Chain A
Amino acid sequence: MKLLEYKAKEVLKKYGIPVPEGFVVSSPDQIRAISGPVMVKAQVLTGGRGKAGGIKPAQTVEEARKVASAIIGMKIRGYISKEVLVERRLDVAKELYLGITIDRSRRSLVLMASPDGGMDIESVPENRILMISLDQFIGYQPFIGRKVASFMDLPKEQASQLANICQRMSELVMKEDAELAEINPLVVTKDRKVIAGDAKVTIDSDALFRHKEYQSLPEDLTPLEEKAKKLDIAFVQLDGNIGVIANGAGLTMATLDSINMFGGKAGVFLDLGGTDDPEKVKSAMLLMREARPKVILLNIFGGITKCDTVAKGVLDAIDSQKVAIPIVARIKGVNEEIARTMLKDAGMIPASGLSEAAELASKESLRSV
């Protein structure tokens, strides 16, 4: 679960990492007083805010309100900024980068630091980025902070501030179950303070059961995405016209690849996870109808459930309202033949293999254009 900047900064603050003074508002007239120059920052769950005009300076209350009214409601990469963060403007002497995330290859947390922080961090050469694995058995130790500080080449006073931030950030990651904590830029101010200019924190959504405080946070989802999420179905909108329902991420992706090879294009896909639960298949069919594709391709590889039970769920779902769009259905597993006959009798297009199903669905989608 991604946190908005102001939420992420609250978490940083909780762990004693310095952040600029500031407050959040959802309407410009909530800005009453500011002490000195501020930055008004859009609050959206995406990067590239600055380039999109979502971050603006202001000197006075009037100016801050004016800027805020332009930013509130602004759409940045598909996300609407409902709030703005108004915070004291930092006198930047230097911008650093500090992040902790998961290193899949090393099966550990990894701390990353660079003296070249800022917007272009991804193109910084490898030798300017320090990566330190946080070993499970060693954990965070002060030597790690010393390594980071020496890599950054900072004077002693700031080096100790930085080492302290490293320690607190690793504590944050472990205690809050964060899969990402990133400060970019980590600002060294002209008066020699080290402060988090921006903050990105993502909480591991699989760990939310032990972090109730994050469960109620709103997420930026469309109504259909919201419905799908409640059913534990992955729902992704694309730009083609075939609606794909499959079970399991790998199989869903393979289905998209196969459609593509036969000239079709997926418009939306629903991944039920590694299950063939007939109830879930039925819910997915109902959701899919709301997404209004031209053709539906159902590809279920069954493990333990009987195909005829899954087919019955599909038929129940389309029975409630008359379906005018073609449905190509491929259900693999026990009692496959019975399911095939049931689907055929109901006017669907049964397929026996993945490539056959992809070919049929693609043909149908091209015909209906």
Chain B
Amino acid sequence: MAIIVDDNTKLVVQGITGYQGSYHSKAMMDFGTKVVAGTSPGKAGEKVNNIPVFDSVSEAIETTGANTSCIFVPAPFCKDAALEAIDAGIKTLVVVTEHLPVLDAIHFVSVARSRGITVIGPNCPGIASPGKAKVGILPNKIFKKGNIGVVSKSGTLTYEIVNSMTERGLGQSTCVGIGGDRVSGTSFIDILERFETDKQTKQIVLVGEIGGTAEEEAAEYIKENIDKPVVAYVAGRTAPPGKRMGHAGAIIARGRGTAESKIKALVAAGVKVAKIPTDVPELLT
């Protein structure tokens, strides 16, 4: 089973001719992902790692049947690339690009969600289902096939935790880095819902961090809807408070958003919360 990416994933890499696009398309193939196409306007006919390059996503889909896209294009062109993929009929979109203007993210995420398209990111490391497929930039070597679902806002911290699980022989069903930007295409709740119904997933690890209220909302959701055991870590217990401007953020947060508030909500929902990331494996059963 696994979620979102698996053996059926046929990937087009948008921005394949750049350094990142070319390096990671190779790494994704090494992981086992079927990378069927790349795009780079004006470079149709070229090949990168033996993958055919097209001018547009629609041409790539027509020729190769791609159903998933991974976006590596620079931030100023990212909204265009995402909307192009959505318009062409891509069903799953993984946006690795960071430093995206928040209004651009709101725009294409709104369009995608209204059409039932899954967007992971922006500013995310991607998603990996060990033994099946990986879309994004997560390091290949840290994974091991298994039955633990991982969902995280963070990049390198996810690697740290997944690595510590793998070292203890605790494999993963799917690992999703949803991205740490203020507006993300997919929330903790969206992923929890999928893990709950995924047959391969037996336990869930949730990695959050301070800011926003996504962890508190996830805790509410877990309490009502998740029967599988959940282990969590929330980064930032000892982080300094940020310099704040204006009152708007505080009005929305209403006292939520701190590590204490998140940990309290998760514990109240029956989640085991690790004090430091390397304690996560010990809390898994």
* CB-CB nearest in chain A for B110: A136
List of A residues within 8 angstroms of B187 by Cβ:
105
8 Å CB contact of A46 from B109, B114, B243, B277? B243
Interface pick from A176-184, A280-288, A341-349 = A176-184
8 Å CB contact of A209 from B76, B114, B138, B207? B76
At the interface, yes or no: A254 with Cβ under 8 Å from chain B?
Answer: yes
Q: Helix, strand, loop or mixed for chain A's interface?
A: mixed
Q: Residues 255-291 of chain A: 1 if any B CB is under 8 Å from the residue's CB, otherwise 0?
A: 0111111000010000001100000000000000000
At the interface, yes or no: A159 with Cβ under 8 Å from chain B?
Answer: no
At the interface, yes or no: B267 with Cβ under 8 Å from chain A?
Answer: no
List of B residues within 8 angstroms of A99 by Cβ:
246-248, 251
Tell me how far the C-beta of A273 lies from the nearest C-beta in chain B, rounded to whole angstroms.
8
Tell me how far the C-beta of A197 lies from the nearest C-beta in chain B, rounded to whole angstroms.
14
List of B residues within 8 angstroms of A261 by Cβ:
275-276
At the interface, yes or no: B250 with Cβ under 8 Å from chain A?
Answer: yes
A35 to B26, CA, bound (A): 70
Tally of contact residues, A, Cβ under 8 A: 68
Within 8 A of A (CB), among B100-139: 100-104, 106-107, 109-111, 113-114, 125, 137-139
- Which of B137, B213, B235 has most chain A Cβ within 10 Å? B235
List of B residues within 8 angstroms of A131 by Cβ:
252
At the interface, yes or no: A233 with Cβ under 8 Å from chain B?
Answer: no
Tally of contact residues, B, Cβ under 8 A: 68
> Does A304 lie within 8 Å of B182, measured CB to CB?
no
> Does A177 lie within 8 Å of B155, measured CB to CB?
no
Provided the pairs A179-B102, A253-B235, A256-B238 are in contact, do residues A2 and B245 lie with their beta carbons within 8 angstroms? yes
At the interface, yes or no: B214 with Cβ under 8 Å from chain A?
Answer: yes
Provided the pairs A108-B110, A129-B251 are in contact, do residues A180 and B245 lie with their beta carbons within 8 angstroms? yes
List of A residues within 8 angstroms of B164 by Cβ:
353
Within 8 A of A (CB), among B222-268: 233, 235-240, 243-252, 254
List of B residues within 8 angstroms of A302 by Cβ:
139
Tell me how far the C-beta of B20 lies from the nearest C-beta in chain A, rounded to whole angstroms.
9
At the interface, yes or no: A230 with Cβ under 8 Å from chain B?
Answer: no
At the interface, yes or no: B172 with Cβ under 8 Å from chain A?
Answer: no
> Does B207 lie within 8 Å of A250, measured CB to CB?
yes
Tell me how far the C-beta of B155 lies from the nearest C-beta in chain A, rounded to whole angstroms.
4
Can you list 11 A-B contacts with CB-CB less than 8 angstroms, sorted by A residue number?
Answer: A105-B217, A108-B110, A121-B247, A135-B110, A136-B110, A200-B245, A202-B246, A250-B158, A251-B160, A303-B139, A304-B23
Binding site for B on A (CB under 8 A): 2, 45-47, 97, 99-105, 107-110, 112, 121-122, 126, 129, 131, 135-137, 174, 177, 179-180, 182, 184, 200, 202, 204, 206-207, 209-210, 236, 238, 246-251, 253-254, 256-261, 266, 273-274, 301-304, 332-334, 353-355, 358
Other than the given A209-B76, A248-B154, 13 more pairs (CB < 8 A) read A102-B106, A105-B213, A107-B110, A204-B102, A249-B180, A250-B155, A251-B156, A251-B157, A253-B157, A258-B276, A274-B156, A304-B27, A334-B141
